[in-house]
């Protein structure tokens, strides 16, 4: 024995588009899923802009910037050498190689600093 309903529903109960609000919610869910499941698609579409927190102040002159860069690279080199001292031999060579690259950068910055006209 089958029982028929007197008034069948006007919309499909399985449809995600029952109203305008559910359509917006579904679009938002699709955007969220695309954001988390397809991150590679966004990388090519965005412009790579530097973080303003790390931009050098344009008011500083080249001599000050180079001196600061030299001190930073010297500190990084010292930290890498200290860190390499506590590593096992297999990883020590890698840390010392990175320290040498940082030292080469420091030498290049120091040479550029030597060519900068001092400001009074």
Averaged pLDDT, 11-34: 71
In a domain, 19, yes or no: no
pTM: 0.51
Q: Record the tokens describing residue 65, joined without a space.
A: 């910037």
State the average pLDDT for the chain: 79
In a domain, 4, yes or no: no
Distance CA 84, CA 33 (A): 43
In a domain, 98, yes or no: yes
Domain of residue 74 covers 56-115
Residue 107 near residue 77, CB atoms below 8 Å: no
Share of the chain above pLDDT 70, in %: 70
Residue 95 near residue 80, CB atoms below 8 Å: yes
Q: Record the tokens describing residue 21, joined without a space.
A: 């609000």
Sign of the four-CA dihedral 64, 70, 76, 78: negative
Residue 81 near residue 27, CB atoms below 8 Å: no
Identify the pLDDT of residue 8. Answer: 61
Domain count, the chain: 1
pLDDT above 60 for 4: yes
- 48-105, pLDDT tens digit by residue? 676 676 677 778 888 888 888 999 999 999 999 999 999 999 899 999 999 999 999 9
Residue with tokens 């390499």: 84
């Amino acid at each position: 024995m089958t029982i028929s309903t007197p008034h069948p529903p006007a919309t499909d109960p399985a449809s995600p588009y029952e109203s305008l609000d559910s359509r917006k919610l579904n679009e938002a869910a699709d955007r969220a899923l695309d954001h988390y499941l397809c991150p590679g698609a966004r990388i090519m579409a965005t412009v790579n802009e530097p973080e303003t927190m790390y931009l050098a102040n344009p008011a500083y002159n080249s001599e000050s910037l180079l001196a600061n860069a030299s001190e930073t690279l010297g500190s990084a080199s010292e930290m890498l050498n200290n860190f390499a001292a506590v590593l096992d031999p297999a990883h020590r060579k890698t840390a010392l190689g990175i320290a040498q690259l940082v030292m080469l950068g420091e030498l290049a910055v120091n040479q550029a600093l030597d060519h900068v006209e001092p400001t009074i």
